[in-house]
Amino acid sequence: MAVPTERGDDDASDSVRASLEEAIRRSSLGQLNPGEVPRAASILKAIGGVRGLVESILPALGFLVVYTLTQEVVSSVLAPVAVALIFVVIRLGSRSSPTLAFSGLIGVGISAALALMTGRAEDNFLPGLLINVASVLVLLISLALRWPLIGIVVGFLANEGSAWRSNRAKRKILTLATWLWVGLFSLRLIVQAPLYFASQTELLAGTKLVMGVPLYAGLVWVTWLLVRTVYPRAEAGQQQDTST
């Protein structure tokens, strides 16, 4: 009777591991390789390409423009939903993967629903603030456990599992990179939370745009610059293999 139970536990563990690997592969850092030279094209790919960049920015910009012009909650929160819905239709029509567009639609839909329920335009940004809080907590927990989250991601991408933990230089750099991500999400909260509680909706919308994709892409770039200091360049590895 114990064998089926053990097999069931193994299946559950494999399922969790597969889900984790898929999440890492779909993440921004998952679009890069530890040894590659971080170029603008690589970073653009990591944030979803030009289309992904537009899909990330336009809904928030739509809210800011409509709210600035009308000061109305309903039209302001429905504008991003309409934009996100258009992106889904375009994705489906072009037969490209609609996953990113659907996730964006779900996100703006939840935000819009919350704002419509409360009648407060600033509540459109509450889910984003909560995501930042959760991100800080997860990253801090990983640091407290001495398993920095960036190290877990890079270890998977480099096909070395947890071997990086026994390398002092790698552990130090990957820990530093994780702290930088803590800093990004914390900075967003420090700037945006007071604006939310003060009902400064237009300023909140503007700062979210500025502190969204631009800072995110910049930190992806910095993270990979750091990672390359402790991981060999792919080109160098290939040259060594050729010379031998």
Contact 71, 88 (CB under 8 A): no
Q: Is 78's pLDDT higher than 80?
A: yes
- pTM to 2 decimals? 0.79
Q: Is 3's pLDDT higher than 80?
A: no
Structural tokens at position 117: 């329920």
Q: Output the pLDDT for position 121.
A: 92
Single-letter code of the amino acid located at 68: T
Quick one: pLDDT band at residue 39, thresholds 50, 70, 90? Answer: low
- Give the pLDDT confidence of 95-154 residue by residue, as tens digits: 766 677 778 888 899 999 999 999 999 999 999 999 999 999 999 999 999 999 999 988
Q: Is 30's pLDDT higher than 70?
A: no
The mean of the pLDDT values for the chain is 81
Burial of 108 (0-12, 13-18, 19+ CB in 10 A): buried
- Give the pLDDT confidence of 155-197 residue by residue, as tens digits: 887 888 888 999 999 999 999 999 999 999 999 999 999 999 9
Q: Where are the beta strands (DSSP E) in 24-121?
A: none
Q: Output 186 or 56, whichever has higher pLDDT.
A: 186
Q: What CA–CA distance (Å, rounded) separates 202 from 121?
A: 9
Region 57-78 average pLDDT:
90
* Maximum distance among all Cα pairs of the chain, rounded to whole angstroms: 69
